[in-house]
């Protein structure tokens, strides 16, 4: 019965995958111009394909691609995507590859979870048969998410950035260290923020995929008075981490050398860093997007600009340490929280970034089953994605609205993401507490 269920489940998975690919192709080759690429929610100054085309044209005319404050991406992307005319197919391929990698990592995580439950002897107490196939669900969420589809069809480079991040996590989960290093280096090179994923990657390589806290295992074995070392999760091992550092160093040197060669006569690497990382950190472009930083830096006084820049970027950095301390036994979940915080607080967010963390959320459907406010969040996301284009139209095209209308929807979106992150972390910690209660035999509290 279980086998049949599994077979049916996997059959409909491939159905869904093909359906989403066909849907994307239909949208790409739709005869009428959908104008998705000009939506500010989809294409930001960092991810816009039009700007990439402009950078490519400048490069072909023997000028630096960074000459005119138009292009702020990587020179490698220029060489790869510039000559291609069918740019949308690249995004479709990137999406499919990301979905497959998400599925593989999800299966990995699920197996690790089942194994840890077995070693904790909790298999009977938690209904394992009701466990959903988190890998399949996560991949389907990623593929069929309207945000992902819009980012793919709308000529943005975020599917490629997402693919790099997922590649890094997949490599770290499956112990393919060169692949993980490659993914991490490329993700950091394309957009600065995935650099903080080094911490979950280190935990993944050192300890292994997500598992309940180590002291639970110790408690269980104290109870059973059987110290079977083989059932305990391994201690933190530095070997893979050093291996990873070596490969990361190698790949980053390679990438920097390639960039240096392509920009040799245009100012070299310093120009590239100033135009890409400098642009991200100083928030020079104030075009509206789904984030909240653009209006803030349009309205703030010149005197306080640097102060607030530092505050907003430190906000991301500050949360790294507390989260790492509290969630070190669950590195994939830590990666999810980092990605969510980055896509909320980054300088130029777009729906492609949200697509990434919503996809990664699918890995944890079993652990986060008791998350509060899930319906509220779902309705909120739907509401914001419908209202935001309306407010944008009112402001820019009709002139009957104000910048405040659009900014209000951006604020609501930021609040929704905050609620998602906070409730997600809370639900995961509650799950760990539940496991601990099951082990220590304490009566379950309604509000723990």
Q: Which residues bind another protein (CB under 8 A)?
A: 38, 50, 53-54, 56-58, 61, 63, 67-70, 284-288, 292, 294-302, 312, 315, 318-319, 322-323, 326, 344, 395-397, 399, 402-404, 407, 411, 414-415, 418, 421-422, 425-426, 429, 433, 437, 442, 445, 447-448
Nearest C-alpha neighbor of 377 from the set 336, 428, 429, 417: 417
Residue 369 C-beta: closest distance to another protein, Å: 18
Q: Which is nearer to another protein, 251 or 295 (CB)?
A: 295
Nearest residue to 290 (alpha-carbon basis) of 152, 124, 406: 406
Q: What is the DSSP string of 77-119?
A: HHHHHSS-S-HHHHHHHHHHHHHHHHHHHHHHHHHHHHHHHHH
Residues 6+ apart with CB under 8 A from 256: 269
* Chain Cα centroid distance, residue 438: 32
CA dist 362 and 109 (Å) reads 11
Per DSSP, 133 falls in state -
Minimum distance from residue 442 beta carbon to another protein (Å): 6
CB of 45 to another protein, least distance (A): 10
Q: Would you say 11 or 397 has its CB closer to another protein? A: 397
**Given the complex with another protein, which of 54 and 121 has the nearer CB atom?**
54
Residue closer to another protein, measured from CB, 40 or 106: 40
Q: How far is the CB of 35 from another protein (least distance, A)?
A: 11
| 229, two tokens | 């070392």
Nearer to another protein, 148 or 276 (CB): 276
In the complex with another protein, which residue's Cβ is closer, 38 or 237? 38
Q: Considering the complex, what minimum distance in angstroms separates the CB of residue 402 from another protein?
A: 6
Instruction: Compute the least distance from the CB of residue 243 to another protein, in Å.
Output: 31
In the numeric block, the tokens 């739907």 are attached to 382
- The nearest distance, CB 283 to another protein, in angstroms, is 11
211 φ/ψ sector (left φ>0, alpha ψ -120 to 50, else beta): beta
Q: How far apart are CA 338 and CA 320, in angstroms?
A: 8
Nearest C-alpha neighbor of 187 from the set 174, 202, 199, 197: 197
DSSP codes, 249-296: HHHHHHHHHHHHHHTGGGTHHHHHHHHTHHHHHHT------SSSHHHH
Query: Whole-number minimum distance, CB 219 to another protein, in Å?
Result: 14
For 122, residues 6+ apart whose C-beta sits below 8 A from its C-beta are 435, 438, 439
Nearer to another protein, 119 or 417 (CB): 417
């Amino acid at each position: 019965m279980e086998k049949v269920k599994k077979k049916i489940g996997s059959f409909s998975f491939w159905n869904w995958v093909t359906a989403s690919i066909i849907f994307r192709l239909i949208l790409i080759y739709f005869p009428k111009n959908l104008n998705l690429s000009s939506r500010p929610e989809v294409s930001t100054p960092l991810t816009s394909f039009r700007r990439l085309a402009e950078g490519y044209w400048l490069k072909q005319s023997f000028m630096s691609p960074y000459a005119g404050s138009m292009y702020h991406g990587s020179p490698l992307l220029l060489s790869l995507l510039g000559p291609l005319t069918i740019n949308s197919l690249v995004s479709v391929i990137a999406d499919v590859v990301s979905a497959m990698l998400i599925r593989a990592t999800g299966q990995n995580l699920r197996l690790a979870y089942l194994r840890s439950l077995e070693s904790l002897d909790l298999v009977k107490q938690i209904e394992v048969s009701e466990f959903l196939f988190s890998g399949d669900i996560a991949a389907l969420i990623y593929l069929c998410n309207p945000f992902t589809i819009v980012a793919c069809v709308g000529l943005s480079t975020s599917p490629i950035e997402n693919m790099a991040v997922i590649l890094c996590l997949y490599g770290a989960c499956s112990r393919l260290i060169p692949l993980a290093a490659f993914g991490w280096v490329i993700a950091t090179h394309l957009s600065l923020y995935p650099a903080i994923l080094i911490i979950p990657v280190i935990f993944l390589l050192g300890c292994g995929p997500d598992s309940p806290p180590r002291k639970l295992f110790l408690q269980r074995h104290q109870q059973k008075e059987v110290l079977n070392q083989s059932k305990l999760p391994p201690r933190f091992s530095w070997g893979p981490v050093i291996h990873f550092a070596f490969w990361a160093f190698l790949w980053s040197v390679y990438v920097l050398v390639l960039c240096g060669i392509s920009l040799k006569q245009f100012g070299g690497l310093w120009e590239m860093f100033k135009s890409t990382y400098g642009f991200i950190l100083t928030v020079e472009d104030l075009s509206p997007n789904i984030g909240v930083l653009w209006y803030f830096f349009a309205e703030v006084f010149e005197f306080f600009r640097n102060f607030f820049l530092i505050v907003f970027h430190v906000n991301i950095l500050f949360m790294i340490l507390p989260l790492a301390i509290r969630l070190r036994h669950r590195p994939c979940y830590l990666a999810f929280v980092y990605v969510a915080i980055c896509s909320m607080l980054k300088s130029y967010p777009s729906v492609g970034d949200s697509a990434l963390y919503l996809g990664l959320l699918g890995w944890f459907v079993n652990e986060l089953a008791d998350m509060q406010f899930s319906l509220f969040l779902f309705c909120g996301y739907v509401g914001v994605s419908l209202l935001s284009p309306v407010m944008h139209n009112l402001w820019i095209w009709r002139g009957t609205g104000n910048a405040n209308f659009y900014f209000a929807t951006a604020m609501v979106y930021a609040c929704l993401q905050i609620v998602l992150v906070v409730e997600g972390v809370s639900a995961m910690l509650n799950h760990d507490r539940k496991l601990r209660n099951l082990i220590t035999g304490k009566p379950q509290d309604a509000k723990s």
